Amino acid sequence: MNYRVIPPDGFVAARVTVPLSKSMSNRALIINAMTAGAAPLQSVAECDDTRAIIDALAAGNGTVNIGAAGTAMRFLTAYYAATEGSDVVLDGSERMRHRPVGPLVDALKSLGADIEYAAEEGFPPLKIKGRKLQGGEIEVDASVSSQFLSALLMVAPVMEQGLKIKLKGEPVSRPYIVMTLKMMEAAGVESDFYGDEIAVGHRNYRPLSIAIEGDWSAAAPWYQIEAMSSGAISVANLAKESCQGDRVLADIYSRLGVDTDWEGEEGGTDLLANPDQDARLTLDFTPMPDLVPAVTVTCAMLGIPFRFTGLSTLRVKECDRVQALVDELAKTGTVIDIEAPDVMAWEGRRVPITEMPRFATHDDHRMAMALAPVALYIPGIVIEDAEVVTKSYPGFWDDLRAAGFTLLDGDAPMPQPEENDD
């Protein structure tokens, strides 16, 4: 479906409940699956990514297709490899078949895993036969993907010798590694993360004792809307003391004119407009790459020049998000430079636009949600393939309607304003 997005006529006001954290949910599902006697989890995120893991765990052996769920591919690769009796072909969408998984497979095979590539070397689909892994010590390039490390860490306790990982290079998305270890601790497995080494001993998981929080990354479009409208936005279920790395969203937007009131009038988190904004934003997004689309679009609309580094992992997400952001924001007249594969900058240069922007979402949920608030500045933009938000936030468009936005058929002509006879 394609949506034409019309902003509210007046003041923007909304109280939303964002989905539960899919990052926490995905980890909880894998840990729970390795916990003897644990009951199925009830309170997890309801989205495509978690559904991919739930369906895979229920499917048994044979071909398991996880679609476009990158986290599921990484986590399930390790899970199946370390689970005796597993015999699966783990496959995904066409895009997934071009997302590298080689470093994780190499690490698992060095620990005794039985994994073969069913097609192209280094990429899904994978033929996996589960067995008891010995564990021991390995070295992993931490600059490639935090999900590779999290996948290895979660299966480490079931290895006979546990696992010690020596990290080579600076870890990307380090907060997600810390999240994994905290959730493992909540399931009775302690770890030692000191310097460039992480050690996890052999131990049985016990049922998780942690509640899944509201998803901080899903709050990003609402921070955008507040920054771009000076409205009254409240989010009901964000945790101030959160294990999610994207909690830094509140700190970033404090530099973009949004204060966060943790004790809002109705018990939620209120987003409050503040006229103070940085004249320029320079950030390293290595720890929090999922926030790049929202922050980039916000800066472009507010006219705040920026230079963002640490973008290497964005090249292999659901799409090449760096190039996608450059291409889509060009439709608003914003001329962004790619200074290096992991560096993007904007010095404020704009060119005139001659037609209403139709934004391609590139099969990427975060692109769709980040671009929708542009309607506040350019009423009538079109978001193509809007259903991609089901990957992480299925109710996003319903929440946007409740906030006063109008969603029309994106393939119909732009409605003309009614004439006034007075």
Report residue 286 as tokens: 């290595």
Contact (CB, 8 A) for 263 and 257: no
As a whole number of angstroms, the distance between CA 337 and CA 96 comes to 27
Beta strands 232-235 and 269-273 are antiparallel
3-state secondary structure of 180: helix
As a whole number of angstroms, the distance between CA 165 and CA 394 comes to 36
As a whole number of angstroms, the distance between CA 255 and CA 275 comes to 10
As a whole number of angstroms, the distance between CA 111 and CA 155 comes to 11
CA angle centred on 89, ends 87 and 91, rounded to 5°: 150
Radius of gyration of the chain (CA): 22
Nearest to 133 by CA among 159, 100, 107: 159
**Which residue is catalytic, options 290, 364, 385, 399?**
290
Length of the chain measured in residues: 422
Check if 290 is active-site. Answer: yes
In the sheet that 126-129 helps form, which strands lie side by side, from edge to edge?
62-65, 87-91, 126-129, 114-117
3-state secondary structure of 103: helix
3-state secondary structure of 89: strand
Beta bridge pairs of residue 6:
406
Q: Which residues are catalytic?
A: 290
